[in-house]
């Protein structure tokens, strides 16, 4: 996912993950290469069903796997 950071809230990545997350099967993954703060807040909240790690690529690339 490349969410194109923007000045207003929410970021495009946050909007997209809100749509995609309910459709994603357990074991599916999402990768985001901009590390927008509101995307990270959502994806790292364990209540949203993901585990996530930041990879040392670009300005921060987040790799997340749906676990619940």
The domains of the chain are located at: 25-66
Answer for the pair 62, 54: CB distance below 8 angstroms, yes or no: yes
What pLDDT score was predicted for residue 66? 98
**With DSSP H G I counted as helix, E B as strand and the rest as coil, what are the percentages for the chain, rounded to 5?**
35, 25, 45
Q: What is the mean pLDDT of residues 54-66?
A: 89
What pLDDT score was predicted for residue 4? 67
Q: Which 3 state secondary structure label does DSSP give 35?
A: coil
Q: Could you tell me which residues are beta bridge partners of residue 59?
A: none
What is the C-alpha separation between 43 and 18, in angstroms, rounded? 10
pLDDT in tens, 8-44: 788 888 999 999 999 999 999 999 988 888 999 999 9
The conformation of residue 29, written as its DSSP 8-state character, comes to: E
What pLDDT score was predicted for residue 51? 98
What pLDDT score was predicted for residue 59? 74
What pLDDT score was predicted for residue 21? 96
> Cα angle vertex 33, ends 30, 39, to 5°?
65
3 has a pLDDT exceeding 70: no
């Amino acid at each position: 996912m490349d969410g194109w950071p923007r000045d207003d809230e929410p970021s495009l990545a946050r909007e997209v993950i809100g749509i995609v997350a309910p459709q994603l099967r357990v074991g599916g993954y999402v990768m985001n290469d901009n590390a927008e703060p509101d995307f990270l807040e959502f994806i790292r909240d364990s209540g949203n069903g993901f585990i996530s790690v930041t990879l040392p690529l670009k300005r921060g690339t987040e790799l997340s796997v749906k676990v619940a």
